[in-house]
């Protein structure tokens, strides 16, 4: 539908800036009718919290994750056990009680807990029952395969993650900021290498893991308090002593424990369950805490926690399912600590401000934007998480370890209560409801072992969620305020965004789209900057520039699958490169309202020669209207040419 004629018929002359002119022989007024802005779906996607009378929210019952208390000894009464109950599809423990090496007196209507007779030895008469032999076999075989092929570098990494403080290890994920964080926090480690004697020497950590708290640390003490609190109600012992599933080296002698870790093997199997991995859980919790405080390294810290989980497998100490279970529980624990626990309210705000100030000071910068640049200033040779694509791919692999899907593969993702709080500082310009949808649209597919818990913790992918939406299944409006700084000023969405919804960018901040996007509801820019950093950044719908500046920075022509419309006062900034990189390639009609502006810049390493003619915009249908002002970086003389379907420019000097 066309807009009213009074608003739609626009007359204008081409006024080429910096000495430019037109060579198309047509400087007469051009009437242009702009189409309506894309309509999108007209609905907004939601990710509502499930009915608490049917699915108990972990964040409200985190306190129940205890052992030695009869009130919290069952699947139904212990949130830490319940959140990983998908394991019961694979394994049935000998008793459905938190009772391995544990007793508890009767408490009211809750009967006393009698210690289990489970010996911890697979195949023993007291052992449990394998319910899915295919997955169980794949779980143990995975450990056999990786431990028999383990490199020396992998063995060292596994050893360090086993013996070092988990907070110290996780701080690797801070990259260039790691030394400053460790110094300001008061972190230290005594575990820097493997012992020469591989069979009898056991080194225990003698350093300070998380650091020194606010009582004596004015620089980063509140942040240290915050990280310490993230372990609140985070014990993995209740789950271990409920599921009573042996470590992989007890299941098979073909599992090769790192020789230097042999002295760390427990001699009491009845209290040494493998499911869930405590090291993994602790690493994930602490990664989430530091990522909340330093969101400039959010993805990298979460990726580091997943690496720690894999190192537990490479060490021979845990299986993939052990590690997956530890991750699931840890995510829930971390969210509870921030949403309902000791980290809520003023502490989280104070700790965030302190962490940002301390890191900016250490980096010698004065803004969150500059800190973000500094935090990503090292090459892959120094910062192993410096390649975003590789980091994302490895994280995805480590979320499932390639185990097959055994359940319904078509279940829609659900988002647990308060799961979105973990993204508060990473996506501050989105509201809580939008952050929940981000988690929903970046969630893993259903059907993987253990991961289909009722609340939805198992399918969450926080590495992907930190890169924005995975799909626009409803219309999305994002408002960014550059005055707030940080990610509200400038952020990138790296996911490949699908869906039938529409994106509307508002506010003064800058949003970069870098994925192979296929969303079809259209793109509308009302204010600020929208940067198309990939050829398909703008999806498959119409593009409507009502205000602000659309920037192209792709290594190829930027595709507009529908129509392209630009209104008076709005700016198109093409950042051109070789072979037409950065130009607009429009499938539909192009309509330029009188007063529309064009800036032409050039990508690093590329500069056209005098006499070159560059195609700036091409349309498969028609190009109507003229830009009121055209500027070209580095040149004062140029001529623009409109031929009905193409806008070109000839560089003259």
CA distances from 437 to 47, 412, 427, 456, 633 (A): 5, 12, 12, 13, 40
pLDDT for 33 equals 87
Dihedral over Cα of 168, 174, 176, 181: its sign: negative
List the chain residues with pLDDT less than 50: 1-20, 25-29
Give per-residue pLDDT as tens, 98-125. 999 999 999 999 999 999 999 999 999 9
Are the C-beta atoms of 39 and 1 separated by less than 8 Å?
A: no
**Omega before residue 338 within 30° of 0, cis:** no
CB-count burial class (<10 Å; 0-12, 13-18, 19+) for 601? middle
DSSP secondary structure letters along 344-371: TTHHHHHHHHHHHHHHHHHHT-SSHHHH
Dihedral over Cα of 441, 447, 449, 453: its sign: positive
**Terminal CA-to-CA distance of the chain, rounded, Å?**
44
- Where does 429-522 show beta strands of DSSP type E? 476-479, 490-493, 503-506, 510-513
pLDDT for 22 equals 53
CB-count burial class (<10 Å; 0-12, 13-18, 19+) for 278? buried
- The Cα angle at residue 142 between residues 138 and 144, in degrees rounded to 5: 115
* Distance separating alpha carbons of residues 456 and 435, to the nearest angstrom: 15
pLDDT for 199 equals 72
DSSP 444: P
Give percent of the chain with pLDDT exceeding 70: 95
* Distance separating alpha carbons of residues 238 and 80, to the nearest angstrom: 7
Question: What is the CB neighbour count within 10 angstroms for residue 400?
Answer: 17
Are the C-beta atoms of 210 and 224 separated by less than 8 Å?
A: yes
* Distance separating alpha carbons of residues 545 and 571, to the nearest angstrom: 8
* Distance separating alpha carbons of residues 31 and 34, to the nearest angstrom: 10
- The Cα angle at residue 112 between residues 107 and 118, in degrees rounded to 5: 145
Those residues whose C-beta lies under 8 Å from the C-beta of residue 6, and which sit 6 or more positions away, are: none
One CATH from 1.10.1040.10, 1.20.144.10, 3.40.50.300, 1.20.210.10 for 58-401+414-462: 1.20.144.10
pLDDT for 30 equals 58
Q: Please state the φ and ψ torsions of residue 380, each to the nearest 5 degrees.
A: -60, -30
| Residue ranges of domains in the chain | 5-42+471-651, 58-401+414-462
* Distance separating alpha carbons of residues 21 and 35, to the nearest angstrom: 28
* Distance separating alpha carbons of residues 41 and 49, to the nearest angstrom: 23
């Amino acid at each position: 539908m066309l807009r009213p004629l009074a608003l739609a018929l626009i007359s204008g002359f081409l006024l080429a800036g910096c000495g430019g002119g037109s060579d198309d022989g047509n400087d007469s007024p051009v009437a242009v009718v702009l189409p309506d802005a894309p309509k999108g779906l007209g609905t907004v996607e939601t990710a509502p919290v499930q009915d608490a009378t049917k699915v108990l929210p972990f964040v409200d019952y985190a306190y129940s994750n205890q052992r030695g208390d009869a009130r919290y000894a069952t699947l139904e009464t212990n949130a830490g056990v319940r959140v990983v109950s998908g394991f019961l599809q694979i394994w049935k423990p000998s008793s459905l009680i938190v009772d391995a090496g544990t007793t508890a007196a009767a408490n009211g209507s809750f009967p006393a807990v009698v210690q289990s007779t489970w010996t911890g030895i697979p195949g023993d008469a007291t052992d449990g029952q394998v319910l899915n032999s295919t997955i169980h076999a794949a779980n143990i075989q995975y450990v056999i395969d990786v431990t028999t092929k383990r490199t020396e570098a992998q063995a060292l990494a596994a050893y360090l993650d086993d013996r070092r403080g988990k907070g110290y290890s996780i701080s690797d994920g801070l990259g260039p900021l790691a030394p400053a964080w460790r110094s300001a926090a008061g972190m230290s480690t005594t575990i820097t290498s493997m012992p020469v004697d591989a069979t009898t020497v056991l080194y225990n950590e003698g350093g300070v893991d998380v650091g020194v708290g606010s009582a004596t640390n004015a620089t980063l003490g509140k942040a240290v308090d915050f990280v310490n609190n993230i372990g609140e109600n985070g014990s993995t012992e209740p789950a271990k002593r409920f599921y009573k599933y042996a470590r992989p080296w007890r299941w098979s002698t073909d599992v090769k424990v790192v020789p230097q870790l042999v002295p760390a093997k427990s001699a009491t199997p009845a209290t040494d369950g493998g499911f869930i991995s405590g090291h993994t859980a602790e690493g994930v919790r602490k990664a989430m805490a530091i990522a909340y405080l330093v969101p400039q390294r959010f993805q990298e810290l979460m990726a580091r926690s997943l690496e720690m989980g894999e190192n537990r497998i490479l060490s021979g100490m845990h299986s993939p399912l052990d590690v997956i279970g530890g991750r699931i529980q840890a995510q829930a624990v971390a969210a509870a600590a921030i949403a309902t626990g000791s980290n809520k309210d003023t502490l989280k705000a104070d700790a965030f401000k302190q962490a940002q100030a301390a890191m900016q000071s250490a980096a010698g910068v004065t803004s969150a934007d500059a800190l973000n640049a500094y935090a990503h200033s090292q090459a892959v040779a120094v910062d192993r998480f410096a390649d975003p694509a590789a980091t994302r791919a490895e994280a995805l692999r480590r979320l499932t370890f390639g185990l097959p899907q055994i359940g319904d593969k078509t279940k829609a993702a659900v988002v647990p209560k308060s799961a979105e709080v973990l993204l508060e500082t990473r996506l501050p310009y989105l509201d809580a409801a939008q952050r929940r949808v981000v988690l929903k649209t970046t969630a893993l597919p259903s059907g993987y072992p253990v991961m289909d818990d009722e609340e939805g913790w198992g399918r969450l992918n926080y590495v992907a969620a930190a890169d924005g939406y995975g799909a626009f299944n409803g219309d999305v409006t994002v408002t960014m305020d550059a005055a707030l700084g940080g990610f509200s000023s400038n952020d990138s969405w790296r996911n490949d965004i699908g869906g039938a919804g529409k994106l509307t960018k508002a506010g003064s901040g800058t949003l970069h789209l870098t994925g192979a996007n296929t969303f079809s509801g259209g793109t509308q820019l009302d204010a600020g900057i929208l940067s198309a950093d990939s050829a398909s950044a703008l999806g498959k719908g119409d593009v409507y520039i009502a205000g602000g500046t659309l920037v192209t920075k792709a290594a190829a022509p930027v595709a507009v699958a529908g129509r392209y419309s630009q209104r008076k006062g709005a700016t198109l900034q093409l950042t051109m490169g070789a072979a037409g990189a950065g130009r607009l390639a429009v499938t539909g009609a192009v309509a330029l309202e009188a007063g529309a502006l064009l800036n032409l810049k050039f990508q690093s390493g590329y500069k056209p020669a005098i006499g070159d003619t560059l195609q700036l915009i091409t349309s498969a249908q028609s190009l109507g209207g003229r830009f009121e002002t055209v500027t070209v970086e580095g040149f004062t003389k140029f001529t623009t040419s409109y031929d009905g379907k193409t806008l070109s420019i000839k560089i003259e000097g």
